[in-house]
Amino acid sequence: MTQDALISVRGLRTAFGPHVIHENLDLDIRRGEILGLVGGSGTGKTVLLNTILGLKQPDGGDVFFEGHRYGGLSRADRHRVNSRWGVLFQNGALFTSLNVRENVMAPLREHVSMPQELMEEIAGMKIGLAGLSPEAADRYPSELSGGMRKRAALARALALDPDILFLDEPTAGLDPIGAAAFDSLILELSQALGLTVLMITHDLDSLHAICDRVAVLADKKVEAVAPLEALMRNPHPWIQEYFHGPRGRAAIAGQGG
């Protein structure tokens, strides 16, 4: 484990029955960085995320948070650790029966004891922080555009002032302008709040625009992790095809590279 790692994964093995997804996987998420996670279809990006979050039990290996083995923590300690993590799941995963304000208040109700008025005030602050107008607080997910749903889910992920944000395909389904605006928001929040960010993405523009390092899942492990410029020189066939294919060249051109 590196000294500046907020989360470390060591020797991870995950499987569904006889189907092995990850084998002997290592990964460090450094404090304060935006780490992009990419990989081909079926490489288990979301499975890795769910395993780090404790939603899936590893079949081998360990996940460490600030040097402490997550699996060895008591239930109360795991609950405290979980309150320091903010998660934006694929498609937002908002509660459809709750309005935006109530969605953002949900983590507060689960982890903190405070008056209703204070919860509503905090929810309003997070809604604004995520770039939504105050009027959005009373809307339901079905009344929001795709971009607004992403921002509402981000507001919920920020509700408990987390140390680390986990983002699963945060710009998927957004038009290029909306995706670029969301990337800028994540970068601004990371810098202003000192957040660590792990972002699963297929969006090459996002990788170029905001990621400090990029980790590549291939061959059941993290094949490489490096700043993007160094990673693009890696000879691994999938890396070369992904970053130097037509979409990769277009993303580089769009960044003025």
pLDDT tens column, 198-243? 999 989 999 999 999 999 999 999 999 999 999 999 999 999 999 8
Judge whether residue 247 has pLDDT over 90.
Answer: no
Of 57-71, 72-86, 134-148, 158-172, the range with the lowest mean pLDDT is: 72-86
User: Is 128 contained in some domain?
Assistant: yes
> What are the residues facing 164 on neighbouring strands?
85, 196
User: Is 24 contained in some domain?
Assistant: no
User: Is 56 contained in some domain?
Assistant: no
User: Is 126 contained in some domain?
Assistant: yes
User: Is 196 contained in some domain?
Assistant: no
Give the span between the Cα atoms of 131 and 219, in whole angstroms: 39
User: Is 80 contained in some domain?
Assistant: no
Summary mean pLDDT of the chain: 90
Q: Pseudo-torsion of CA 194, 200, 206, 208, nearest 10°? A: 90
> What pLDDT digit, counting tens, does each position of 32-88 carry?
999 999 999 889 999 999 999 988 999 999 999 998 898 888 888 888 888 899 999
pLDDT score for 222: 97
Query: For the chain, what is the domain count?
Result: 1
Give the span between the Cα atoms of 25 and 9, in whole angstroms: 7
88-110 CB burial, b ≥16 within 10 A, e <16? bbeebebeeeebbbbbbbbbbee
Can you tell me which residue has the tokens 């609950």? 79
Cβ–Cβ < 8 Å for 85, 164: yes
pLDDT score for 257: 52
User: Is 51 contained in some domain?
Assistant: no
Domain extent at residue 137: 94-162
Supply φ then ψ for residue 117, to 5 degrees: -60, -40
User: Is 213 contained in some domain?
Assistant: no
SS3 85: strand
